[in-house]
Amino acid sequence: MRFIHIADLHLGMEPDKDCSWSKMRGRELWDAFSNIIEICRKEKTDLLLIAGDLFHKQPLVRELKEAAGLLSAVPDTKTVIIAGNHDYISGTSGYRNFKWPENVTFLMSDHPESVYFEDINTEVFGFSYHTRDISEPLLDDIRPTDRARINILIGHGGEPSKVPADWKKIERAGFDYVAMGHLHKPIDISETIRYSGSLEPVDLNETGRHGYIAGEICTGAATADPSHSSPEAGKAGSMGKTVSTTRVEFAKREYIKADIGIGVEDTYGSLRSKVKALIDEKSDRNLYILRLFGEYDPQITFDLEGLSDMGYIVRIIDETRPKLDLQKLHAANDGNVIGMFIDRMRSSPENDRISEKALFYGIMALTGDCPQNYY
């Protein structure tokens, strides 16, 4: 039985709000879903698991029809969906009366239920959010009913207000695989309990490669000696089954955090060259969060907003500071207003970046331009 596990597609969201490519990213989330379905079609995947937050918010009927249309193109792939905390089934949710294609099972209940597919001997357990928060540990006590079947648990959350999870307990429950959603980082709780992570990263904190999990579970002979089964199967504790899963890097883009060092030799032009070299190295498809650090020549100005034409630069964190030899500057201005200003600013109880900047701008104002030759 071959399956694909995805979660947190957040369809309907437009990531990187206020960036010029935000709408494009919104469309790319749909493309990602469509591409996954294409993979299911090509690879004849038996089971597609969608572990919550398929939609970013309450889905519109138009969006549900769009998703259903895509899924109906793979009638031989059984799809099991649960609602997460973002697309929870509210009283007026479009999910409530929506008719999905034959191959789609939406586990709508707010309490654990299951669906059994006889032809692939697989039972999938799960439940949907009906509220934004769930503080009961509803995953902890779900147990497979028939160990001869392939048993899969699909869940969303795993943190205090989002179905807190006792992973040890869940591991002992004996599921062959637990498909988790909610955490957008791809995280493995164990060999068989995994967060797929968001299919496409949707926020600048979701750095690194994103994608889905492809897996295969094979049932051995019913009489198989458990001591001869693979370590994974041993962990799942179930009747000679072998479980193998792999992460597939699939997302079109990746958020990359990069540090760029600045020195007194740098100009705006050389900063641009550094940014260009980074983007050339890591691909212009990616989304960048740049942290600038170091000490710059106070006579140079860096037009950080001007860098935005160089690629998908989501954010620039500026930790640079002008290189100023305050000692030298102070000595040259002992007793005058500049010297007094330096004294006053240095005795200020706040010794942070803001007061440092204030000191620099104050000196600039007092010297009329920029203190020359003081670094």
Q: How far is the CB of 184 from Mn ion (least distance, A)?
A: 8
Per DSSP, the three-state class of 112 is coil
List the one residue out of 293, 289, 126 whose CA is nearest residue 207.
289
Interatomic CA distance for residues 3 and 225, integer angstroms: 25
Interatomic CA distance for residues 355 and 156, integer angstroms: 45
Beta carbon nearer to Mn ion, 13 or 243? 13
Calculate the CA dihedral of residues 274, 277, 283, 284 and round it to 10 degrees: 60
Beta carbon nearer to Mn ion, 133 or 325? 133
Beta carbon nearer to Mn ion, 133 or 334? 133
Q: How far is the CB of 221 from Mn ion (least distance, A)?
A: 40
From the number of C-beta atoms within 10 Å of its C-beta (0-12, 13-18, 19+), residue 104 rates as: buried
Instruction: Kindly identify the residues of this chain, within the stretch 143-202, that bind Mn ion according to CB under 5 A.
Output: 182
Residue nearest to Mn ion as judged by C-beta position = 182
Q: How many residues bind Mn ion (CB under 5 A)?
A: 4
Q: How far is the CB of 134 from Mn ion (least distance, A)?
A: 11
Interatomic CA distance for residues 159 and 162, integer angstroms: 5
Q: How far is the CB of 237 from Mn ion (least distance, A)?
A: 28
Beta carbon nearer to Mn ion, 85 or 219? 85
Q: How far is the CB of 156 from Mn ion (least distance, A)?
A: 6
Instruction: Kindly identify the residues of this chain, within the stretch 273-302, that bind Mn ion according to CB under 5 A.
Output: none
* Cβ–Cβ under 8 Å, residues 33 and 70: yes
The answer to whether the Cα torsion of 4, 129, 122, 243 is positive or negative is: positive
Q: How far is the CB of 157 from Mn ion (least distance, A)?
A: 7
List the one residue out of 257, 287, 291, 256 whose CA is nearest residue 271.
291
Beta carbon nearer to Mn ion, 84 or 215? 84
Among 79, 85, 192, 229, which residue interacts with Mn ion (rule: CB under 5 A)?
85
Beta carbon nearer to Mn ion, 82 or 363? 82
Beta carbon nearer to Mn ion, 162 or 235? 162
Interatomic CA distance for residues 61 and 38, integer angstroms: 23
DSSP string, 90-106: -TT-TTTT----TTEEE
Instruction: Kindly identify the residues of this chain, within the stretch 45-84, that bind Mn ion according to CB under 5 A.
Output: 53, 84
**133 token code pair:** 């928060």
Interatomic CA distance for residues 200 and 7, integer angstroms: 10
Per DSSP, the three-state class of 353 is helix
Q: Lay out the site mask for Mn ion across 9-48 (x = CB under 5 A, - = otherwise).
A: ----------------------------------------
Q: How far is the CB of 111 from Mn ion (least distance, A)?
A: 19
Interatomic CA distance for residues 174 and 216, integer angstroms: 17
Beta carbon nearer to Mn ion, 3 or 195? 195
Q: How far is the CB of 59 from Mn ion (least distance, A)?
A: 14
- In the complex, the residues that contact Mn ion under the rule CB under 5 A are 53, 84-85, 182
